[in-house]
Amino acid sequence: MTEHFTGNFTQQEPLPEEAITAAVEVMRHGRIHRYNLAGAEAGEVALLEQEFAAQVGAKYCLAVASGGYALATALRAVGVAHGDKVLTNAFTLAPVPGAIASVGAEPVYVGVTEDLTIDLADLTAKAGQARVLMLSHMRGHLCDMDRLMEICDAAGIIVIEDCAHTMGAAWNGVPSGRHGAIGCYSCQTYKHVNSGEGGLLITDDEEVAARAIMLSGSYMLYSRHLAAPGPEAFERVKYDTPNISGRMDNLRAAILRPQLRDLDAQVTRWNERYRMLEAGLRDTPGLTVVERPEQETYVGSSIQFLLLDWAPEAVQEVLTRCGARGVELKWFGVPEPVAFTSRYDSWRYAPAQSLPDSDRILAGIIDMRVPLTFSLEDCALIARIIRAEVGAIWQAQGADS
Ligand SMILES: *Cc1c(COP(=O)(O)O)cnc(C)c1O
């Protein structure tokens, strides 16, 4: 009997009851704008910022409209301007080069290794080309962060971490987002907490925090923040920092706060699913599992494997056959950008660059979402289906050659 999977790869869990109750309360009082506060009320957004800062051990936190907005704000806050170059990963998602382009800067891509992390040798080689690295922890894979910070500190490079897939992750016990000068997170539906849209920015740098808050559209109401520097920091920047509105509202913050309290428990559930998938895929001929380093605390909200050096038609055949059995896989190497996946050469607003070693890896990256609505049995079934289809095509390829 041929097994089929019937689950939905984009269906998230409903929000916790506590979040629903908190949202209804905000709707009942109607004070949805973050600065619309009654009496001594702190407001949901300010409380969210205070709680998230404490959760990751950062001095300052700003909640904003999206993860991409947080990234662009981080670039502006460290002074990236029109015509500047910004180092970033060749393997990432469109909002990252998009944030760089939004401030008129140009991405300089750094290659990807078979571990799906930034190529530190390539980073070292390109370190002289920019004063900022926007480091994307793409699909939750953390590079050796100690080594990366050594390279960047030695070259005087400011590191902005894109933690869209690493909220809840850590390297050597240090939370993702706490290695560089700024950490940016997304609270979009497909990430680790869900407010539809939303983003968080953390930093220990008082001037960066003050600028980011001014940039986000705080008018002169910065004293209503609970995870912000004192008024003197704002005095220094308030006349020359433009307002580029991208605030978060109290409704989104209300539904995020209970989810952040649940984050560790959710991470455990994601990783149970991830490990079930990983175990089921291990030792499949032709398929390379991406090994996770011991120093890495990851969040298995998606899983990747490599079909390295496969013919493109064979990769496509695996995707088609898995798709026919209900298993939706994404291929980063596909020539035309599809849905959320795209390759660095499809971002044509940026100068063309050639990274042949990365092209080989990108051509083999297969990606799958792991929503928490999947059961462990679902994960075991999905792995059996992938294993069978990869095995069948691999054997056929061998027979052809
Ligand atoms: C989702 C995502 C972002 C940005 O998030 P939005 O909230 O959608 O703007 C940034 N980087 C990566 C790698 C992402 O996947």
Listed in sequence order, the residues at least 6 apart from 35 whose beta carbon sits closer than 8 Å to its beta carbon are 43, 218, 219, 221, 224
Judge contact between 87 and 129, C-beta under 8 A.
Answer: yes
SS3 assignment, position 67: helix
Atom of ligand 1 nearest to the CA of 162: 11
For the segment 240-244, the average pLDDT, to the nearest whole number, is 97
Q: What are the CA-CA distances from residue 84 to residues 53, 77, 107, 237, 320 (Å)?
A: 30, 14, 9, 21, 42
Whole-model pTM: value is: 0.97
Q: Alpha-carbon distance 94 to 343, whole Å?
A: 8
Q: In this structure, which residue's CA is closest to atom 6 in ligand 1?
A: 67
Hey, which of 10, 12, 188 would you mutate to test ligand 1's pocket, going by the most ligand atoms within 8 Å of its Cβ? 188
What is the pLDDT at residue 336? 76
CB of 364 within 6 A of ligand 1: the answer is no
For atom 11 of ligand 1, the residue with the nearest CA is 164
66 CA distance to ligand 1 middle (Å)? 8
pLDDT tier at 265, thresholds 50, 70, 90 = very high
Helix runs in 65-118, H state only:
67-77, 95-102
CA distance 245 to 220: 13
Is residue 1 predicted with pLDDT exceeding 60?
yes
Q: Ligand 1 centre from 239 Cα, in Å?
A: 31
Regarding the beta carbon of 68 and ligand 1, being less than 6 Å apart is answered yes
pLDDT of residue 398: 77
Average pLDDT, integer, range 334-344? 77
Inform me whether the pLDDT recorded for 337 exceeds 90.
Answer: no
pLDDT of 381 > 70? The answer is yes
**Residues 50-90: pLDDT tens digits?**
999 999 999 999 999 999 999 999 999 999 999 999 999 99
Q: What are phi and psi of 54, to 5 degrees?
A: -65, -40
| Ligand 1 centroid distance, CA of 290 (Å) | 22
Cα 318 to ligand 1 centroid, rounded to whole Å: 27
Q: Is the minimum distance from the CB of 162 to ligand 1 under 6 angstroms?
A: yes
- Per-residue pLDDT at 124: 98
66 ligand 1 Cβ < 6 A? yes
Distance 194 CA to ligand 1 centre (A): 13
Closest Cα to atom 2 of ligand 1: 164
Calculate how far, in angstroms, residue 178's C-alpha sits from the geometric centre of ligand 1. 18
For residue 92, report the distance from its CA to the centre of ligand 1, in Å: 9
Digit-coded pLDDT (tens) for 195-232: 999 999 999 999 999 999 999 999 899 999 999 999 99
Any ligand 1 atom below 6 A from CB of 183: no
HSE, side-chain direction, 13 A CA sphere, residue 169: 34
d(CA 340, CA 325): 21
Name the closest-CA residue to atom 14, ligand 1.
164
pLDDT value at 401 more than 70 = no
Ligand 1 site-directed mutation target among 10, 96, 135, 167, most atoms within 8 Å of CB: 96
Q: pLDDT tens digits, residue range 275-333?
A: 999 999 999 999 999 999 999 999 999 999 999 999 999 999 999 999 999 999 999 88
Q: Is the pLDDT assigned to residue 262 strictly greater than 90?
A: yes
Please tell me the distance from the alpha carbon of residue 228 to that of residue 366, in angstroms, as a whole number: 41
Task: Give the pLDDT mean for 174-202.
Answer: 98
Q: Residue 334 — pLDDT band, cuts 50, 70, 90?
A: confident
For residue 135, what are the contacts with CB-CB under 8 A and spacing of at least 6? 88, 89, 118, 148, 159, 160, 161, 162, 180
**Ligand 1 binding pocket includes 188 (Cβ within 6 Å):** yes
Q: What is the pLDDT of residue 240?
A: 95
Euclidean distance between CA atoms 117 and 144, whole angstroms: 9
Q: Which of the listed residues 93, 100, 165 should we mutate to test ligand 1's pocket, taking the one with most ligand atoms within 8 A of CB?
A: 93
- Of 21-35, 305-319, 340-354, the poorest mean pLDDT is in 340-354
| Between residues 234 and 340, the one the model is more confident about | 234
Show Cβ contacts of residue 1 under 8 Å, excluding neighbours closer than 6 positions.
Answer: none
Q: What is the pLDDT of residue 399?
A: 61
108-160: pLDDT as tens digits:
999 999 999 999 999 999 999 999 999 999 999 999 999 999 999 999 999 99
Residue minimizing CA distance to atom 5 of ligand 1: 67
Q: What is the residue with the minimal CA distance to atom 1 of ligand 1? A: 164
Please tell me if the CB atom of residue 118 comes closer than 6 angstroms to any atom of ligand 1.
Answer: no
* CA dihedral of 332, 333, 338, 340, whole degrees rounded to 10: 20
67 lines ligand 1 (CB under 6 A): yes
All structural domains of the chain: 17-261 (3.40.640.10), 263-400 (3.90.1150.10)
Number of the ligand 1 atom closest to the C-alpha atom of 69: 9
Distance 185 CA to ligand 1 centre (A): 8
Nearest atom (ligand 1) to Cα of 186: 7
pLDDT recorded at residue 400: 58
**Arithmetic mean of pLDDT over the chain:** 96
